[in-house]
């Protein structure tokens, strides 16, 4: 999913390019005109597919629609993919494409989803705790604003909070009639198996996802995690096996922090992660180019 930084996207595609990888791309309609031939010529080994462009405003259900459309495009290709990796155009790799492929081949069928596990609230049985009310409010109440682009992020969040206060007084609670008995939150970026994508697509086709999330906000961080803990896959999931989503994200220095070329040494020392987010085009994509060179050097 990309909406800007297209020079960075080209370098990311070079890093992903591998004979066992197919790449599906959505370019946000708000990004304006773009020369797709430049992107198409980036890959030598991977098949590259472009999804029909849509708007995907931050915080809205539109983000879920784009994510699901990408999953669906790959799912309907009938290629029997073992894993599906959802990436942002501002992500990058920390290992070579072949190393990442081999890692997931040996990890199947583990699901790499991020969960907002709250410290001290994990039960003795290892069951993930439910989310706090501040996250549950995203789907508990109706949020009629469907676009954040004109309001700006701060105003969008403030107005949404006002809607929540009013509906709290009116005792509104959409979760009482939800299709799910438990709820969970985490980052939307993930690496999930074919079996989870089948559950996801079934939930989409029968209308569960639309019914539960279309009137919410920031639901891209809820719908996959909630679907997972309410599925039969969760019965084989153990907290001790949890390895997050293998994406290195720094929330201490930013929301999240945007890595710079001066951080290349720090990133080169990370062994427990396969991806990093987020980067931008600072210094003419120097960090991305240096990471790509480092990956190539290690591979040789």
Q: End-to-end distance of the chain based on CA atoms, in angstroms?
A: 30
Q: Would you state the pLDDT for residue 132?
A: 67
Q: Longest Cα pair distance anywhere in the chain, in angstroms?
A: 64
Bridge pairing between strands 22-25 and 47-50: parallel
Dist. CA 167–CA 239, nearest whole Å:
35
Average pLDDT of the residues in 209-215: 94
Q: Would you state the pLDDT for residue 123?
A: 44
Q: Would you state the pLDDT for residue 54?
A: 94
Q: How confident is the model over 102-111, as pLDDT tens digits?
A: 999 999 988 9
- Among 33-47, 150-164, 189-203, name the most confident range: 189-203
Average pLDDT of the residues in 247-268: 94
What percent of the chain lies above the pLDDT cut of 70? 90
3-state secondary structure string, 122-150? CCCCCCCCCCCHHHHHHHHCCCCCCCCCC
**Cα–Cα distances in Å, from 216 out to 104, 138, 163, 227, 282?**
33, 5, 11, 16, 34
Residue 292 or 178, more confident: 292
Closest CA to 16 of 90, 112, 74, 100: 100
Q: How confident is the model over 3-27, as pLDDT tens digits?
A: 988 999 999 999 999 999 999 999 9
Q: How confident is the model over 55-96, as pLDDT tens digits?
A: 998 888 999 999 999 999 999 998 889 999 999 999 999 999
Average pLDDT over all residues of the chain: 89
Average pLDDT of the residues in 33-40: 87
Q: How confident is the model over 216-244, as pLDDT tens digits?
A: 999 999 999 999 989 988 876 665 555 68
Which of the four pLDDT bands, split at 50, 70 and 90, describes residue 212? very high
Q: Where are the domains of the chain?
A: 6-118+242-299
Q: Would you state the pLDDT for residue 154?
A: 80
Q: Would you state the pLDDT for residue 128?
A: 60
Q: Would you state the pLDDT for residue 213?
A: 95
Which of the four pLDDT bands, split at 50, 70 and 90, describes residue 124? very low
Q: Are 174 and 141 in contact (CB under 8 A)?
A: yes
Average pLDDT of the residues in 192-215: 95
What pTM was estimated for this model as a whole?
0.91
């Amino acid at each position: 999913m990309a909406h800007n930084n297209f020079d960075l996207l080209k370098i990311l595609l070079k890093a992903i390019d591998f004979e066992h990888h197919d790449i599906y791309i959505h370019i946000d309609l708000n990004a304006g005109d773009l020369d797709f031939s430049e992107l198409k010529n980036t890959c030598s080994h991977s098949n590259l597919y472009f999804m029909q462009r849509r708007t995907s405003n931050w915080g809205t259900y539109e983000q879920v629609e784009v994510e699901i459309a990408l999953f669906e495009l790959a799912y309907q290709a009938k290629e029997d993919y073992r894993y599906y990796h959802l990436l942002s155009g501002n992500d990058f790799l920390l290992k070579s494409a072949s190393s990442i492929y081999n890692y997931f081949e040996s990890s199947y069928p583990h699901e790499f989803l991020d969960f907002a596990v709250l410290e001290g609230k994990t039960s003795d049985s290892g069951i993930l705790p439910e989310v706090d009310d501040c996250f549950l409010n995203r789907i508990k109440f109706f949020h009629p604003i469907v676009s954040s682009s004109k309001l700006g992020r701060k105003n969008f969040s403030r107005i949404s909070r006002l809607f929540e206060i009013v509906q709290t007084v009116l005792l509104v609670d959409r979760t009482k009639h939800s299709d799910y008995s438990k709820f969970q939150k985490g980052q939307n970026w993930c690496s999930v198996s074919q079996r989870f994508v089948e559950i996801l697509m079934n939930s989409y086709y029968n209308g569960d996802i639309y019914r539960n999330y279309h009137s919410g906000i920031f639901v891209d961080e809820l719908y996959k995690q909630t679907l997972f803990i309410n599925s039969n896959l969760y019965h084989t999931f153990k907290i001790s096996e949890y390895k997050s989503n293998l994406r290195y994200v720094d929330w201490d220095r930013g929301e999240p922090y945007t890595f710079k070329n001066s951080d290349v040494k720090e990133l080169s020392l990370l062994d427990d992660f396969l991806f990093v987010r987020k980067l931008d085009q600072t210094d003419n994509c120097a960090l991305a180019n240096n990471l790509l060179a480092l990956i190539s050097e290690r591979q040789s």
